[in-house]
Every structure is written in C-alpha cells, then in structure tokens.
C-alpha cells in the first residue's frame, strides 16, 4: 500500500557552500531526493593514507548497491581517535530512503516556504553519488545518498497545503512518514491535479487505495486534519466575528504565550475581552488544562479538536463534556476573577465551516474552505 513521506532538508546555506544552493533546491533542480551521511563524514580525515585509499575504492563501488554502503559502515566500528564510525550502524534516514520508500509512494519537500510533491516511480533508484572534490556541491551541502527520478510538482505555500502535511515539517526525523488521517488521500488528489495540469492527461494510479473518506461527504476528523493550526484558530475567530461581531486585537496574536492564541473585544463594550485557545490534532499535544487559564481576566473559550480537557496538568481528572442538543459551547469552569470558561464543540464549529462554504455572505478564508472542493 502506498504511503506519504516528507523530507526535511537543511534550510541554512553552509558557509562552505560557494554554490549558494540549498539541499531542497538541489533536489528540485536535479529531480532527486537527497541527503548526507557520506562515508567521509566524521572519519575520513582521521584515517591513515592506506585506510583512506581503501575507503575510497569501496565508496566508488557502491553506486546503486545499498548493501555495499551498509557493509562499509557495519565493518568499520573504529577510528584513529576512538570515535566509532556511525557506531557501525547505518543512519535510519538513509535506510528509509534506500529500502523503505516504495514505488507509488508520495514525497513532500519544502523550499523557501513553498511546498512540492513528488512520487517514487519504477525508474527511481538508490544512488550513492561519489565525490572527492571538496568544492563540489555534492560534498558542500551533503547530498551523496539519493533517490533518482523524482519529478517535483509545485503545490504552493502553507495556505495551499493540508495541515497534516505542513505540520509534519515542524519536528521529527530528516525523512519520515506522514500518517495522519486523510494524508494519503489528499496527497494523491493534489498530485493528480498537478500531473494533469502539466501533461494534459489523467494520472494513472498504481494503487487503488480506499478513498471513501473523500467521497460524498468529508467527516469532521478528516476536515480538521486538513486544517493547519493557524486555519483552526482563524475558523474559531470568524465564528465569533460572524455570530457576535467580536474583533481580535492583532498585537495579542503576536505574543509568545501558550496560554491563549489571541484576545477579542466585544463590539458593545470594549472593556469586555475574551481569550481564545485552540489546539488542533489527535495527540496529547492538543490536551488542555484548566489551571492554565485561572488568572485570565476575561471569558475563556477552549477548543481542542482531538484532545481532552483536564482540571490540572497532573492529568488525574479529565472533564467529561457533553454538549446538549449539539450546542456550540458549554460552561466548564471559571477563572479566579469569576469569569466563565467555556469548551467549544468541534462538531458545531465544523458545521459552521460547511455553512460558510455554501453561503458566500459568511466571511471565511479560502485556506479553510478550499478543502470542501474535494467533496464534490
């Protein structure tokens, strides 16, 4: 079954990189996936002349044979300064590139804030690109290990890609799978669109993976998976603006705080303020804790699309929240200044987004509404 991967490349240009080209740019220009861990890193200068020649000769023989690359590392657990050569273990990222990515898998890469999607095809092969010239870009930016014949299609900036993809670039390994809900389906759809734009013909699928979640209707969980964290914040903001005409204070969205996303003011009384906190996802990272908001001097609205709300950070007591009659919010606590704290119903907010898609009089960014286009 096909999968989705993302390749996180170094964004800074090395001081020794006289070519002025980043790893991502190199990959896009050359039509490859590429990463470092050349056999010269961390050891070559420490070897004796005979050991250097031996390593050079073996390095030249690798070409497309990943087993030879592994053998060189696994047999060398030594160095002249008592540093083990990769501890005799092949780097996990290189192993994924050479052995785990399969034909038909989709790959995402990002360069200068722009996202590209590619795909491994039958012609794609592992390549160890030998180089011994320190002035060559291969060694300067570290791209010896490659997967060839990757055609990259430009998708756009963060507002054009699903949140399940953009958030995968925040942290993690250099090369890793993206397995969030809807990730494969939307990647396949976007790849199909770009392929058709260029070649004026339908993209021939290698796999017939079930895409029922994008047929007839999109369920709530898939929808939130496609939203970026910023999109989810915007969605709640536009709800409050549409229903109550609350206005955000722009400067409060720039503060470095984990307690709230931004502050909004009531159109009827500028002294009344509300605090908004939004967490989008399906892991412990999107859990919320009431004791974080007790010192705020205003009403608090908490939204977590896939997490839980706890009384305290020790997680001993999770709140059981039932939204009666599918209400939009429910009062769950209060601050020290007796201001109410509410939980937001993700399902009701999702219904509001659907309403905005159908009704152009509802103000809503395209970055949120665009995902409903794939339901037609």
Q: What is the pLDDT of residue 80?
A: 52
* Rounded distance between C-alpha atoms, residue 42 and residue 23, angstroms: 20
Residue 109 phi/psi, 5° resolution? Answer: -140, 155
Q: What is the model's pTM?
A: 0.90
Alpha helices in the chain (DSSP H): 23-30, 49-62, 66-75, 92-95, 137-141, 163-166, 183-199, 220-226, 229-244, 346-358, 366-369
Of the pLDDT bands very low, low, confident and very high (cuts 50, 70, 90), residue 101 is: very high
User: What is the average pLDDT across 212-219?
Assistant: 61
Percent of the chain with pLDDT over 70: 88
> How many whole angstroms from its chain centre is CA 2?
18
- 3-state secondary structure at position 263: strand
Burial (CB count <10 Å: 0-12, 13-18, 19+), residue 217: exposed
Query: pLDDT tens digits, residue range 256-275?
Result: 666 899 999 999 998 889 99
- Closest by CA to 86, choosing from 63, 64, 70, is 70
User: What is the average pLDDT across 223-232?
Assistant: 94
Burial (CB count <10 Å: 0-12, 13-18, 19+), residue 360: exposed
- 3-state secondary structure at position 310: strand
Residue 39 phi/psi, 5° resolution? Answer: -70, -5
Give 164's contacts (C-beta < 8 A, 6+ positions apart). Answer: 178, 180, 181, 182, 183, 186, 225, 226
Query: Vertex 324, ends 218 and 275: CA angle to 5°?
Result: 80
Length of the chain: 376
User: What is the average pLDDT across 14-41?
Assistant: 82
SS (H, E, C) 229-246: HHHHHHHHHHHHHHHHCC
* Rounded distance between C-alpha atoms, residue 358 and residue 212, angstroms: 22
Query: pLDDT tens digits, residue range 38-78?
Result: 887 666 777 788 988 988 999 999 999 999 999 988 887 66
User: What is the average pLDDT across 353-369?
Assistant: 96
User: What is the average pLDDT across 28-44?
Assistant: 86
* Rounded distance between C-alpha atoms, residue 361 and residue 376, angstroms: 21
Of the pLDDT bands very low, low, confident and very high (cuts 50, 70, 90), residue 16 is: very low
Q: What is the pLDDT of residue 352?
A: 97
Q: What is the pLDDT of residue 15?
A: 45
Q: What is the pLDDT of residue 59?
A: 92
Q: What is the token pair recorded at 43?
A: 């050891």
pLDDT at 208 over 60: no
Residue 25 phi/psi, 5° resolution? Answer: -60, -40
Question: Could you give the strand order of the β-sheet that contains 106-111, starting from the edge strand earlier in sequence?
Answer: 153-156, 114-119, 106-111, 4-7, 175-177
Query: What spatial distance separates the first Cα and last Cα of the chain, rounded to whole Å?
Result: 26
Structural domains in the chain? 4-37+91-199 (3.10.590), 226-366 (no CATH)
Give 302's contacts (C-beta < 8 A, 6+ positions apart). Answer: 277, 288, 293, 309, 332, 341, 342, 343, 344
* Rounded distance between C-alpha atoms, residue 364 and residue 237, angstroms: 10
Query: pLDDT tens digits, residue range 146-172?
Result: 999 999 999 999 999 999 999 999 889
């Amino acid at each position: 079954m096909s999968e989705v991967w993302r390749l996180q490349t170094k964004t800074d240009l090395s001081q020794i990189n006289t070519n002025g080209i980043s790893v991502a740019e190199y990959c896009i220009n050359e039509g490859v996936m590429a990463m470092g861990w050349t056999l010269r890193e961390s050891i070559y200068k420490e070897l004796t002349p005979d050991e250097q020649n031996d390593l050079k000769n073996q390095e030249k023989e690798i070409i497309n044979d990943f087993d030879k690359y592994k053998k060189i590392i696994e047999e060398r657990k030594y160095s002249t300064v008592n540093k083990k050569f990769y501890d005799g273990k092949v780097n996990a990222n290189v192993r994924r590139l050479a052995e785990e990515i399969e034909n038909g898998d989709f790959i995402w890469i990002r360069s200068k804030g722009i996202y590209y999607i590619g795909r491994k095809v039958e012609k794609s092969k592992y390549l160890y690109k030998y180089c011994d010239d320190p002035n060559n870009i291969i060694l300067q930016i570290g791209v010896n290990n490659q997967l060839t014949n990757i055609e990259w299609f430009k998708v756009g900036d963060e507002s054009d890609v699903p949140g399940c993809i953009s958030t995968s670039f925040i942290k993690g390994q250099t090369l890793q799978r993206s397995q969030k809900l809807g990730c494969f389906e939307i990647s396949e759809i976007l790849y199909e669109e770009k392929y058709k734009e260029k070649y004026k013909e339908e993209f021939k699928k290698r796999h017939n993976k079930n895409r029922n979640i994008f047929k007839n209707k999109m369920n709530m969980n898939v929808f939130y998976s496609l939203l970026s964290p910023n999109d989810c914040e915007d969605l709640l903001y536009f709800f409050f603006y549409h229903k109550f005409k609350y206005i955000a204070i722009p400067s409060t969205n720039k503060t470095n705080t984990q307690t709230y996303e931004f502050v909004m003011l009531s159109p009827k009384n500028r002294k009344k303020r509300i605090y908004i906190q939004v967490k989008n996802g399906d892991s412990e990272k999107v859990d919320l804790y009431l004791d974080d908001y007790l010192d705020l001097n205003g009403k608090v609205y908490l939204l977590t699309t896939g997490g839980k709300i706890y009384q305290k950070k020790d997680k001993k007591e999770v709140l059981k929240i039932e939204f009666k009659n599918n209400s939009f919010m429910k009062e769950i606590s209060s601050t020290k200044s007796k201001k109410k704290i509410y939980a937001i119903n993700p399902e009701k907010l999702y219904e509001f987004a659907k309403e905005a898609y159908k009704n152009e009089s509802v103000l809503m960014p395209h970055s949120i509404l665009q995902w409903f286009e794939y339901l037609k």
